[in-house]
Chain A
C-alpha cells in the first residue's frame, strides 16, 4: 500500500481518536471555567494535550498541534507551580477552549 494511502487511513482513525479526546476534554473545560478544577483535572488536560501535540502535525494537522502544545505548556506551568487558583485555571481554560475548537475543525476536515 502506498504511504499516502496508509497515512490517509491513519488520519481517519486519528479523527476517531480526536472525537474521544474532544468528548473527554469538554467536561474538563466546564470544570475549569467554574473554577472547581483539581490537580487531577489539570493532569488529565495536560496528558491529552500532550498526546495531541505529539501526533497532530505529523498527520498534517499543524494548527491543532500548535494549539495542543500551547495548552500542554500552560497546564504544565500551572501544575509545576501547584497553582489551582481561579486565575490560573482561567488561563488553562482559555487555552483548552482554543484546543477544543481546533479539534472540532480537524474532525470536520477529516
Chain B
C-alpha cells in the first residue's frame, strides 16, 4: 500500500481522485487544495508519503514550484511525482521535468491511464524499497565503502544537484509525454565514458558515484547557456534532450568544451591518482516521419550510435591508436589522461 498526496485547487478533481484511487486499491490518500497547504502537510506528516500527484495551474504557488520544493525534502528526493494537469504545452512539460517531475499526465485523464501510471510508480517504489533493504543488509555486514554492487555499473544512478539532470526513468517519461502531444521538437544525443568498466573495477562505490557526478558536472558545464534535460542511464552512458533547433550548437559546444572541463575537474580514484577518461560524444538524433520504433526511437538511435563509437574507441586504445577524431590544437594540455572523441 502506498501513501499518496494529491494537490489540486479544484475540489472536484480531488474528490474524483479519492474515488478513483480508492477503487483501484489506493485508499491511503491525503489531499491539499494549494501548494502552501501541501507543504504544511509535508512538514507535519507523521508518516511520510510515497508518491505525489500535482496539478500545475494553481493560484499563488503553482505545481512546478511545489514540485521543486518537494524535491528539497531529503526523504522525497526520489519519490515519484506525477504532474496531473491540463497544461499540455511543451514549455510546461520541460519545466515540470526540469523541476523534478517523474511523470506527466494531461487532463482530462482516462481513469485507466491514471491507474496504469500509478502502478508504474508503485513498482518503482517497491524496487527501491527492496534495493534499500538489500543495501542495509549488506551494510550490516560490511562498511559502506566496501559495498560495490555490480548494478551500480549497469543501472541508472540518480545524480543530484547538477543543472538539467533528471532521473533516467523521468527522462523516458518526458520523451513519451512529448510524443503523446505529437511535440517532436526535441533532439536526443548521448555521451559515454568508453572505459567505464575499467574505472568501475578500480573505484569504491563511493568514488564511483563521485566520478559519475564529475562527468555529469563536466557535461553540464560544457552545455552552459543551452536548455536541456540530461539523465544517466548506466554503463557510463548519459542521454541529453534539447530543442531540435539548438541541437547542433549544443553538440558543437559539448565537443569544444568537454575536454577542458574534464581536465579542470580531474576525477580521481580513492588513492587520489587521476582517472583516465575516454569520453565519446554522439550526434543528435531526432524524430523522422514514418519511422518505426515509437516515441523512444531517437533515444535508441542516439544510444546505439554512441555505443558503437565507444567500442571503436576501446578497440583503438587497445591497439594503441585513436581511430576517431579527438580534440586537437589549442594550448598544450597539462595532462593527457582525458580524451574526448566524436
Interface positions of A (Cβ within 8 A of B): 3, 6-7, 10, 13-14, 17, 50-51, 53-59, 65, 72
A25 to chain B, nearest CB (A): 16
B12, B16, B109: most-surrounded residue (chain A CB, <10 A): B12
B108 to chain A, nearest CB (A): 3
B108 to A55, Cβ gap below 8 A? yes
Q: Which of B12, B16, B108 contacts A53 (CB 8 A)?
A: B108
A10 to B15, Cβ gap below 8 A? yes
> Known contacts A13-B12, A50-B57, A50-B86; is A55 also within 8 Å of B107 by CB?
yes
> Known contacts A10-B19, A17-B12; is A58 also within 8 Å of B86 by CB?
no
Q: A54-B108, A55-B107 are in contact. List 17 more A-B contacts (CB 8 A).
A: A3-B19, A3-B23, A7-B16, A10-B19, A17-B12, A53-B86, A54-B13, A54-B55, A54-B85, A54-B86, A55-B10, A55-B16, A58-B107, A58-B109, A59-B12, A59-B16, A72-B86
Closest A residue, CB atoms, query B24: A3
B117 to chain A, nearest CB (A): 14
A13 to B108, Cβ gap below 8 A? no
B13 contact set on A, CB distance < 8 A: 54-55
Q: State A106–B324 Cα separation when bound (angstroms).
A: 65
B111 at the interface (CB under 8 A from A): yes
B159 at the interface (CB under 8 A from A): no
Q: Which of A3, A14, A50 contacts B20 (CB 8 A)?
A: A3
Interface of A is mostly: helix
Closest A residue, CB atoms, query B8: A54
15 contacts between A and B (CB under 8 A): A3-B23, A7-B16, A10-B19, A14-B12, A51-B10, A53-B86, A53-B108, A54-B107, A54-B108, A55-B13, A58-B107, A58-B108, A58-B110, A58-B111, A59-B12
> Known contacts A6-B23, A50-B86, A53-B108; is A58 also within 8 Å of B16 by CB?
yes
User: Quick one: CB contact mask for B135-179 with A, threshold 8 Å, 1 for yes?
Assistant: 000000000000000000000000000000000000000000000
Q: State A58–B15 Cα separation when bound (angstroms).
A: 12
Q: Which 7 A-B pairs have the closest CB atoms?
A: A57-B108, A54-B107, A54-B86, A6-B19, A3-B23, A58-B108, A53-B86
| Size range of the chain B interface in the assembly | 10 to 19
Q: Which of A3, A13, A50 contacts B15 (CB 8 A)?
A: A13
Q: State A77–B85 Cα separation when bound (angstroms).
A: 19
Closest B residue, CB atoms, query A7: B19
Q: State A56–B110 Cα separation when bound (angstroms).
A: 11
**B54-78 at interface with A (beta carbon < 8 Å):** 55, 57
Q: State A33–B23 Cα separation when bound (angstroms).
A: 45
A50, A53, A54: most-surrounded residue (chain B CB, <10 A): A54
Q: State A59–B10 Cα separation when bound (angstroms).
A: 14
Closest B residue, CB atoms, query A53: B86
B16, B19, B86, B108: most-surrounded residue (chain A CB, <10 A): B108
Q: State A6–B107 Cα separation when bound (angstroms).
A: 19
Q: Which of B10, B19, B110 contacts A54 (CB 8 A)?
A: B10
User: Quick one: CB contact mask for B101-139 with A, threshold 8 Å, 1 for yes?
Assistant: 000000111110000000000000000000000000000
User: Quick one: CB contact mask for B1-41 with A, threshold 8 Å, 1 for yes?
Assistant: 00000000010110110011001000000000000000000
B12 to A55, Cβ gap below 8 A? yes
Q: State A53–B107 Cα separation when bound (angstroms).
A: 8
A54 contact set on B, CB distance < 8 A: 10, 13, 55, 85-86, 107-108
Closest A residue, CB atoms, query B108: A57
B15 contact set on A, CB distance < 8 A: 10, 13
Q: State A15–B20 Cα separation when bound (angstroms).
A: 19
B19, B20, B111: most-surrounded residue (chain A CB, <10 A): B19
Q: State A3–B23 Cα separation when bound (angstroms).
A: 6
B20 contact set on A, CB distance < 8 A: 3
B111 contact set on A, CB distance < 8 A: 58
Closest A residue, CB atoms, query B10: A51
B23 contact set on A, CB distance < 8 A: 3, 6
A10 contact set on B, CB distance < 8 A: 12, 15-16, 19
